[in-house]
Amino acid sequence: MKKISLEECIYSALSNPFLDREVVINACDSLSKRIEEGRYDCLIEMSGISHFINEADIEEVVRMLSREYLCQKVEMELGLDSDKVLPLGVLFHIGAGNMEGLTAFSVVEGLLAGNINLVKSSSKESGISALLLKELLTIEPRLKDYVYLYSFPSSEKEKIIELVNLSDAVVVWGGDSTIRSVRSLVPANCRLIEWGHKISFAYVVPGQFKEKDCYMLAEHLIKTKQLLCSSAQGIYVDTDKEEEVHTFCQRFIKILDKAGEKHGDRDPIGIAQNTLKAYTYRLEHRSEPYTEYQGAGTRIFYKPDRELESSLSYGNIWVKALPRTDIIKTLKKHHGHLQTVGLLCSEEEMDMLSALFFKAGATRVRRNGDMSALSVVEAHDGEYPLRRYSKICCKA
């Protein structure tokens, strides 16, 4: 669609009454029910998307598109007095590539706030977002004036600028380099709403957890492949004694391997790529002190420093010592990048340790196995999206 025709469509939609939120919720709920009934199973299989999602992912989609979930979300984020809450106007979503379907949910949030949504999908996504949104428009044709899908490389800056110039806000999902690149294209009169890539980790207090706690953490690492912002990249151990960290690594590598055997990717190509990543890591860090604990399909890298960093993912994690007395001074410099901390500690120490991590900049603290679980009351990176996609207006 050419810019002028898109511009005319946008102006026409803006001339109409505000989008009725009930229309959006009804359409999403219908889509949720159809997915639950299995109506799209064949389509998902034929398109190849089934390789990227599992049954648990589908159950999460069903829940997050349901009427109950969305109504609770609107009430929690916008409050009951919604007369003063109006849409920003036009949102341009630059989609995420690290989580299947995330772009579609970003658009649903934009619709719930009453906005027109221009959507650039990520080349790293399987196509599940496009499938969900197209089916949503088929179910409710009245939403077609509010959703426009595009697929082109991020290198085509001119196309991005065209869509930016038609927007009241740009919603970007990505890492620091992506956000810096987009920020340079957004004019002063257009809002930039950033949902950046974040780093999450687990924190273990020796002697205060059971074997099942470790297995739940291991399952989380394997099932998420450490690709989500809420996935643990590594584990800090509450100690300044190196021998305690080595003891934990020797114990945890067996548990991690057990989870990998049950839930891991047994694809030979994936295993080969994982092995190559680890070999490359060894070459790049051969001059640095570290100890590698290698399982059948998983690895732990113990490093004597305390720096927060990403992992190799896919069952490759780092483990480091971090006594609680040093949590704030070690992590505070990373405050803009912290997201979820998974705690393995006693119930009595949960509140005290949570407070330390919140002060350091974390936005979520969860029990070890629930790091990536979402509830309706939770925010993206410490902020409610519907509020960011709306404006408060005073009417006479």
Structural domain containing residue 318: 199-370
Whether 191 and 234 share a structural domain: no
Question: Residue 62 maps to which CATH number?
Answer: 3.40.605.10
Q: For residue 285, is it within any domain?
A: yes
Residues recorded for the chain: 396
Whether 146 and 220 share a structural domain: no
Q: What is the model's pLDDT at position 48? A: 67
Whether 235 and 353 share a structural domain: yes
CA-to-CA distance for 353 and 209, rounded, in angstroms? 15
Whether 88 and 213 share a structural domain: no
Whether 148 and 248 share a structural domain: no
Bridge-based pairing of strands 364-367 and 147-150 is unpaired
**pLDDT in tens for each of the 396 residues of the chain?**
454 589 999 999 999 999 999 999 999 999 999 999 888 877 777 666 666 667 777 888 899 999 999 999 998 888 756 567 899 999 999 987 666 778 899 999 999 999 999 999 877 776 788 889 999 999 999 999 999 999 888 888 999 999 999 999 999 987 778 888 889 899 999 999 988 677 899 999 998 877 888 999 998 888 887 777 778 889 999 999 999 999 999 999 999 998 888 776 655 555 566 667 666 766 666 666 678 888 877 889 998 899 998 887 778 889 999 999 999 999 999 988 888 899 999 989 999 999 999 999 998 898 766 676 554 445 566 678 999 999 988 765
* Number of folded domains that form the chain: 2
Q: For residue 340, is it within any domain?
A: yes
Contacts within 8 Å (CB) and 24+ apart, 148-157: 148/1, 148/6, 148/9, 148/116, 148/117, 148/118, 148/119, 149/119, 149/121, 150/118, 150/119, 150/120, 150/121, 151/120, 151/121, 151/123, 152/120, 153/123, 154/94, 154/123, 154/178, 154/181, 157/185
**Structure tokens belonging to residue 364:** 């979520």
Between vectors from CA 25 to CA 22 and to CA 72, what angle results, nearest 5°? 100
Q: For residue 135, is it within any domain?
A: yes
HEC profile for 94-135?
Answer: ECCCCCCCHHHHHHHHHHHCCCEEEEECCCCCCCHHHHHHHH
Q: For residue 375, is it within any domain?
A: no
Q: What is the model's pLDDT at position 116? A: 97
Q: For residue 164, is it within any domain?
A: yes
CA-to-CA distance for 396 and 385, rounded, in angstroms? 27
Whether 232 and 189 share a structural domain: no
Whether 187 and 223 share a structural domain: no
Q: What is the model's pLDDT at position 295? A: 81
Q: For residue 376, is it within any domain?
A: no
Whether 123 and 265 share a structural domain: no
Whether 214 and 172 share a structural domain: no
Q: For residue 43, is it within any domain?
A: yes
pTM to 2 decimals? 0.77
Q: For residue 217, is it within any domain?
A: yes
Q: What is the model's pLDDT at position 212? A: 87
Query: Which residues does residue 118 pair with via DSSP β-bridges, in sequence order?
Result: 92, 148
Q: What is the model's pLDDT at position 266? A: 52
Whether 145 and 192 share a structural domain: yes
Q: What is the model's pLDDT at position 92? A: 97
Under 8 Å between Cβ of 293 and 300: yes
Q: What is the model's pLDDT at position 270? A: 54
Between vectors from CA 175 to CA 170 and to CA 181, what angle results, nearest 5°? 55
Q: What is the model's pLDDT at position 377? A: 47
CA-to-CA distance for 293 and 298, rounded, in angstroms? 9
Whether 176 and 324 share a structural domain: no
Q: What is the model's pLDDT at position 286? A: 66
**Structure tokens belonging to residue 150:** 């595009």
Question: Residue 250 maps to which CATH number?
Answer: 3.40.309.10
Whether 170 and 253 share a structural domain: no
CA-to-CA distance for 193 and 171, rounded, in angstroms? 5
Q: What is the model's pLDDT at position 376? A: 43
Under 8 Å between Cβ of 168 and 89: yes
Q: What are phi and psi of 387, to 5 degrees?
A: -70, -40
